[in-house]
Each structure stands twice: as structure tokens, then as C-alpha cells.
Amino acid sequence: MSITKHCIKNKKIDFFKLENYESLKSINNCHLSESTFNSSKMDNIQVSNSHLASSNLEKCNIKKAHFLNTNLEMSSFAWSNLKSNKFDKDNLSRVNFQFVDLSHSKLIDCKATETDFRWSRLNHTTFINCDLKGANFSNSDLRNVTFENCDLKSAIFNINTRLPFTKEHAKKLGMNFNGIN
């Protein structure tokens, strides 16, 4: 039995819906805002130069994928498995990464302002040159996370956040403690 690998290229489609799908391997130069990929398996997918703002990617398996120069602003990956992914020069602002496993992932030169990482699994995740202003890391374990040259001003942490540095250092970086001091 042969398996066909599907690609979407050079398309502009609003309200695209694809649920419980398993054969999508690339999205290139597409405008698919407000699309649904809910509960799909898209391991090893290559997404580049595309616009997927406000899309639903909840409860997906998207492991070992590469997102390059893609706008995912206000999209939701809640409850998804995103292990070992690479996000490179993407707009991840206001993305919902709640309860997401981003272990062993790399985010490089990404804009992730006001992004919600609450309850995320970020074990051995690396952020390089990322704008994380206002990102919410409440209830996340950041002890094995690497932040290189990142802007963490106004990033939120709480009493349950396990930081890779002291609370005092977090405040020097401009991070905000949410809770009782």
C-alpha cells in the first residue's frame, strides 16, 4: 500500500478546514488564515513563507517540523505535541501554547509577544534572539530552558514557575511576578 504525501503551495484560502488528517507534508507560500487542522498528525511538516494567523492547530501531533518565516499570530496549538520542532523567523505573537509539549524545540529570531506558554512542557527548549515581551510562563518548568539574547520584559511568571535563574534575576530582566510577593 502506498501513502501519498500532500502539499499545499501558492494558495489563498480563508476558512480552510482539515481535521484528523495525516498526510500533509508541506505548506509553502500560502494564505490560510483562520484555518482548522484540529487533531491532525503532521510530523515532519515543512511550513514556510505562509500566513496561518488565527488558525486552530489544537490537539495535533506535529513533531520534528520546521516553521520558517510564517505568521501564526493568534493561532492555538493547545494540547498539541510539538516535540523537536524548529521555529525560525516566525510571528508567534499571542499564540496559545497552553499544555503544549515543546520539548527539545528551537525558536530562533521569533516574535512571540504576549504568547501563552502556561502549563507548557519546555524541557531542553532553546529560545535564541526572540522577542518574548509579555509572554506568560506561569506554571511552566523553565529550569532546562535556554534563553539567548531574548527580550523577556513583562514576561509573566508565578509561584509555580520553575525558573532557570533566581527570582531576583528574573525581575532584573524585566519579568513580572504574578501573585503575592
CATH code for position 125: 2.160.20.80
- Give the DSSP letter of residue 28: E
Distance CA 127, CA 147 (A): 5
Tens of pLDDT, residue by residue over 162-179, are: 999 999 999 999 999 998
- Please report whether residue 153 resides in a domain: no
- Please report whether residue 152 resides in a domain: no
Cβ pair 175, 157 in contact under 8 A: yes
pTM metric for this prediction? 0.91
Contacts 24+ apart (CB under 8 A), 52-61: 52/27, 53/91
- Please report whether residue 129 resides in a domain: yes
Tens of pLDDT, residue by residue over 51-94, are: 999 999 999 999 999 999 999 999 999 999 999 999 999 999 99
- Residue 20 pLDDT more than 90? no
Mean pLDDT, residues 9-38 taken together: 81
Nearest to 120 by CA among 90, 149, 95: 95
The burial of 118, by beta-carbon neighbours within 10 Å (0-12 exposed, 13-18 middle, 19 or more buried), is given as buried
Distance CA 180, CA 26 (A): 46
Distance CA 148, CA 169 (A): 15
Strand partners, 46: 26, 66
Q: Where are the beta strands (DSSP E) in 17-154?
A: 24-28, 46-48, 66-68, 86-88, 106-108, 126-128, 146-148
- Please report whether residue 128 resides in a domain: yes
Q: What's the domain count of the chain?
A: 1
Please say whether the dihedral angle defined by the alpha carbons of residues 72, 108, 67 and 145, taken in this order, is positive or negative: negative
So what's the pLDDT on residue 5? 60
- Please report whether residue 143 resides in a domain: no
Give the range of the structural domain holding residue 53, as residue numbers without chain letter: 13-135
